[in-house]
């Protein structure tokens, strides 16, 4: 009887799966500690501006299944990531006179939504 119970427990452990409900959300957020963002050129002149970055947060479905054989488990993990569609140039509007053109804009990833994407596990 004890052997059957032990085999039953092994069987249940081999079929265990843990799931998390997907809830992946997009928003725009200012960079903490960098508002305003200040860039300085090689001559010491500065440009300042308020910049919002695309931000993804939330939970994505992940699972893990165990087995008696090797490997002892299989794992599927995913993360909430930005769907990047392009790069955008954001002007920094408050610049010192004579500031370099290189610091008058900043390039940022652009997207308007997020998705759960499977992570490679090596």
Give φ, ψ of 10 to 5 degrees.
-60, -40
For the cut 70, the answer to whether the pLDDT of residue 122 exceeds it is: no
Residues 80-106: pLDDT tens digits? Answer: 999 888 888 999 989 999 999 999 999
Confidence of residue 121 (pLDDT cuts 50, 70, 90): low
Under 8 Å between Cβ of 104 and 48: no
pTM of the model: 0.58
CA distance 27 to 43: 36
CA distance 17 to 33: 41
């Amino acid at each position: 009887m004890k052997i059957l119970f032990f085999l039953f427990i092994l069987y249940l452990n081999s079929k265990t799966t843990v799931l998390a409900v997907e809830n992946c959300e997009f928003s725009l957020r200012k960079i903490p500690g960098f508002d305003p963002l200040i860039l300085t050129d090689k001559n010491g002149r500065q440009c300042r501006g308020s910049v919002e970055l695309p931000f993804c947060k939330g939970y994505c479905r992940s699972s893990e299944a165990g087995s008696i054989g090797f490997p002892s488990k299989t794992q599927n993990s995913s993360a909430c990531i930005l769907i990047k569609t392009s790069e955008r140039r954001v002007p920094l509007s408050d610049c010192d006179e004579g500031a370099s053109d290189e610091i008058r804009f900043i390039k940022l990833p652009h997207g308007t939504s997020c998705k759960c994407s499977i992570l490679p596990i090596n």
